[in-house]
Amino acid sequence: MPPNAESAAFRSALEVIRAVEPRVADAIGAELVDQRESLKLIASENYASPATLLAMGNWFSDKYAEGTVGRRFYAGCQNVDTVEALAAEHARELFGASHAYVQPHSGIDANLVAFWAILADRVESPALKRAQARHVNDLTEQDWFALRRELGDQRMLGMSLDAGGHLTHGFRPNISGKMFDQRSYGTDPATGLVDYDRVAEAAREFRPLVLVAGYSAYPRKVNFRIMREIADSVGATFMVDMAHFAGLVAGKVFTGDFDPVPHAHIVTTTTHKSLRGPRGGMVLCGPELADQVDRGCPMVLGGPLPHVMAAKAVALAEARRPDFAAYAQRIVDNAQALADGLLRRGATLVTGGTDNHLVLIDVTGYGLTGRQAEQALLDSGIVTNRNAVPQDANGAWYTSGIRIGTPALTTRGLGTAEMDGTAELIHTVLSQTSAGANPDGTASKAKYVLDPALADKVSRQAGELLAGFPLYPNVDLG
């Protein structure tokens, strides 16, 4: 490929956009500048390849394609069939799954497809048939209660939010919490680790229909063989949401008991995060659930997004290359180096370290809330997100933690040496930030005090750290 091909592609695209709405073109260009200059440590973000990005901006966006490959409700979908089949093929080969459904628009959509597939596989009821025929957003609270009565007491057991679980695993603010009676398993208060004996005890007591494993802020591996044994012991369907660590599974960093695909009845994921693809979702399952999963549209999903499925095919093809496995291992190496650097500087980490792509800092040791720490770091050119820690006294809004991850910086090429420098910058900011006060003199959970000169200095140092690792080096917008 000519070295200027990527620059030419993006320059041309922006010229076309600018002719219609220059402010949008400006915002796109500004986003590239911001991403190049920021030390991005958000564990759920990454940088998709130029090929993946370009695959989303094309005529596939103009097509409706309800249905599945070869069984569409619209004519003229032969090219959509090609890219969807390719994406599914790459997913099956990459993860060793017998079936892949690549239509979900997001991780929550993938989870909804999985939930409904499990319910449909378990029961047949008039309420379920009515729900399948309607859009989920049209169902009233009374509809949900009627559905629950007809289906029986549908129970879900998943990881608690403060232990690192996700909102879509049966919590009331999410639609999954209206579908299921949810109970949580936490982590050992002393270690922060999953206690499988306690999970088994909770499963025996609660008798869930669905046992969910997976996390968004748990910095360790999960033994999926043990979790499957627990599910089998109570007759539950075992579902794993691997959205955060799918890239580590694809790259064969997580294998054996720590690879969910051989052990789970059904697996959901996003296609971005550590997998480094476009924003979207995916469901993997065995043949017993394949027919129900393929009914995701129109049961839960609207029309598929063919342009995003094309990008998924490209990203999954990239993930099948040998260099992706090396990349996945570097993600973990970098996360462990970052954790070690923070620990040596006196930071408190949930579970005392990491086995995966993320590190969770308990910032109460710095006298801060997560919200204060997040903003102070952002002022200093370090992009993170606040996150609850186990038994969080500050709740889910202010939080007591900061979640940091290494997939994006690893994509840029930073290694373990740069992780120590990153740890130094994070510690410098947090140790020099103090909690602010409200107008009445009481302690604030949001306001903070940080010397602007220090913030500017750290921002410059972050820029110097990134200078040797340019983002999209072949893209010059002029």
Per the residue annotation, which of 72, 155, 220, 273 is the catalytic one? 273
User: Annotated catalytic, 270?
Assistant: yes
Per the residue annotation, which of 64, 81, 420, 457 is the catalytic one? 64
Whether omega for the bond prior to residue 298 falls within 30 degrees of 0, making it cis, is yes
Q: Check: CB of residue 254 under 8 Å from CB of residue 245.
A: yes
Residue 123, phi-psi category: left (phi > 0), alpha (psi -120 to 50), beta (remainder): beta
Q: Which residue has the tokens 């999953």?
A: 194
Question: Two tokens at 175?
Answer: 């639609």
Planar angle of CA 175, 180, 184, nearest 5 degrees: 100
User: Annotated catalytic, 66?
Assistant: yes
Per the residue annotation, which of 155, 276, 279, 445 is the catalytic one? 279
Residue in 363, 252, 353, 304 with CA at minimum distance from that of residue 63: 304
User: Annotated catalytic, 40?
Assistant: no
Per the residue annotation, which of 37, 66, 121, 188 is the catalytic one? 66
174/294 Cα distance (integer angstroms): 23
User: Annotated catalytic, 273?
Assistant: yes
Per the residue annotation, which of 6, 109, 162, 241 is the catalytic one? 241
User: Annotated catalytic, 241?
Assistant: yes
476/478 Cα distance (integer angstroms): 5
Q: Check: CB of residue 267 under 8 Å from CB of residue 238.
A: no
Per the residue annotation, which of 268, 270, 351, 422 is the catalytic one? 270
Residue in 205, 208, 133 with CA at minimum distance from that of residue 176: 208
154/183 Cα distance (integer angstroms): 11
83/69 Cα distance (integer angstroms): 10
Task: Please identify every residue annotated as catalytic.
Answer: 64, 66, 241, 270, 273, 279
